[in-house]
Structure 1
């Protein structure tokens, strides 16, 4: 296209032909070589569709680039929205999970405390029962020894034996 003149250049040459044409005396008219002017006009007409076609190709290419850019922008916006939604959902999932974990932890701590109290109560009642049985057994042993001492006349020995044995005190 560097060797070929553009339509604009050809029109500029045609204008110069007319501008440099010999003027007719006492008139605004001029004398132009009809063949040269018609040839120049035909050349412009002949190459005008090529340049229009090239211009249209450039316009079409620019429209294609614009459409491609708009499609890319739309894709980027769509991806950004999806990512934002994903992050929002992830944040919501994390928030719900943290709330659920807190609730489960609180319930587990409350249940553990209740079990601890129940266990402590059970152990205390068993120990009280054992203490009562132990107290009754101690009482029965003392009573049995007293009866044995009375029956065997072991009072003298009993006094001596009682002094040697440690005394068991009742808890209650």
Structure 2
């Protein structure tokens, strides 16, 4: 009989070991296992699974409850902060400071946006330059191929080059 362990995973590992260590049948993938040992191991796993599932469900329920409480507390704190912010905004000195900070944040954001635009433009320009190079090379190859075709077939006889 398999020794009782703490988790279903460990019990399943022991059951797997029973099968791995079972005596092989000659010239076959089959093996001989002790039916009683295997059934006892399976019964042990089955008997303890509900406990582990219930324990896991309890943990999940506790987490969900904690999350709900945290969200409610966060909402309450946000509302309280909003009310306090409105009260502070009414005071002229606070409003002036807030306007200065807002102006600085706006200036910083605009500067960052401009830097990102420049960086994006540089990236796009490099990609377009690469495409232009490939296009130029392709155009050159087309001109060369047409010239060879014209020489071979006399296609340009009587035509003027553009």
> TM-score by structure 2 length?
0.52
Could you say which residue in structure 1 is the equivalent of 2:16?
Answer: 15
- Could you list the per-position Cα deviations for residues 142-171 of structure 1 after superposition, in whole angstroms to 9, with x for gaps in the alignment? xxxxxxxxxxxxxxxxxxxxxxxxxxxxxx
Per the TM alignment, residue 69 of structure 1 is displaced from its structure 2 partner at its CA by 1.4
In structure 2, C-alpha distance between the alignment counterparts of 1:66 and 1:91, rounded to whole Å: 39
- RMSD over aligned CA atoms reads 2.3
Give the paired residue count.
92
Report deviation, 1:19. Answer: 0.5
Corresponding residue for residue 61 of structure 1? 62
- TM-fit CA distance, 1:76: 1.0
Q: TM-score, normalised by structure 1?
A: 0.49
Q: Unaligned 5+ residue runs, structure 2?
A: 96-162
Give, in angstroms, the shift of residue 90 of structure 1: 4.5
CA distance in 2, matches of 1:91, 1:82: 17
SS in 2 for 1:76: helix
How far 1:9 sits from its partner (Å)? 0.7
Partner of 1:38: 39
Is contact 2:5-2:11 (8 Å) kept?
Answer: no
User: 1:4 Cα shift?
Assistant: 5.0
Unaligned runs of 5+ in 1: 95-172
